Structure 1
């Protein structure tokens, strides 16, 4: 297992004073949950402030930091977080440090008003970018060299920008999906009982995975049916019939809504349920297989290994030795 484990990803966070506490949590908490549900240290993070002092958030809850931000030759992705009064803290010294850091960083992210700091440092020139909707018109007018777009978040090569706290959560789920796959991103989003903004509660029955827009109620209905039939999965033709569309139409609806066909989402639900049982219970693997819709323990083991890069027994053994476990939240 050790030689197959994915390398841990380190992220640096430069948090500017007066940043909202929820904005910082929107970056960190999905990473923490990804570590917990996977049983692996997939992500690590370091938090810095401009002067090395704890960050005074608008909630009056200080955030401890590693120290003062320094533009060293570190290549870790750098997230610049800011909410209120960003200009007050955009000193020439800080902007120079951010610009110098960008020479080495594999990626630079402007989180909410952090996009203004990157823009003011010319790091978004000729990139597509977004910012908080309240400031969008001013942002677009101030930086005509930037392709401003009205999106919750934008990933354009080595530049990332977001439009607020919940869009940042969307972003982190998408980054987890790109690096570790749909199953993990889905499970992380479900831990938050998260429904993406901009969609009515009736239209959205399942949490999103960062890029999901469940505007079509037929996709939501199909997802609800999948949840109900984990132990005895329905064939896609029967699932489509329950929703009132053809199997081909269901395929296209899912691909348009979440970027994967229905069988991929269905399998992710079942395997995530299986992993929870592997980690949180002492059920025999044959019973876990039966409870999550696999015809045999061997078929379950093959699918489990293909998705999680270890066998169910290796998962239990690894977590037993590490003392790790999972609870809710």
Structure 2
């Protein structure tokens, strides 16, 4: 945190901008930015992005290097177990922060580089839960962090094409989430597994899993519910069930519109926004044989997508290419596919490779 705080301050000073001016440019208060630059508050990803956009320069360490540094540095959980002290709230806070950082690294670091780091963090968290001494509230937080790490590990393993490993990781996370009495997280784990099954196995099984996740997510917040319903829509589209898909997509829109600043959403739905919802709707349209409806949704979403999220950009371009190919616009399809290949080369992924091959076979 101190290193990144110093980097933010150094970048601002190099641009000869005062803290007051930076506050104006980023729309964050001057006292808040002062706390961040002095290392007293953790720099959130959106704050770093605001600095980068205001100054026009990249800030912070290379994300791939950060993932590798994870493998050679001790987790707070390791130090805690070595000391033999009772686990307190401060360690739970530290573990939560590491989960968030790893989750955001998944946006910009390929699965080959990230998976070992996530696996290690998960193993250390599981060992802490197994061997540590803590109060019941702290224990629930540790179990929740373990479940979130298992979900992330499963997601990254699936992206790497390790489907059996991913399934085991997802189900181990369900056990932790249930012990923590976190129904929404358990539903997210089952829903993530549903997404994998829809893509590589029997989509009817995926639809059952996705529906079960929705039913089991008692008291889910609006954005969580929207995410779970998206997985129902995708499984429905893969089974070619137009009614199921249409109802699920309508329910996604309804749930997302119910979000509010007064409702605290879990951090793991940070990425779900209107553009992501439109991308899923476009993909469903292609699966159901209506590619002409997909193109405007995909084009708009891709135009505003962060360039450094290369894997997602490549995947979404592959769907745009497919929408063009299926409407006979082969030149546009080839151009979109060429762009998809360029992004895929920056962040290789088994999932992306499979998609590009599928679209190439349509040409």
Q: TM-score, normalised by structure 1?
A: 0.32
Pick the structure with more strand per residue.
1
Pick the structure with more helix per residue.
2
- Relative contact order, higher structure (CA 8 A, sep 6+): 1
Q: TM-score, normalised by structure 2?
A: 0.30
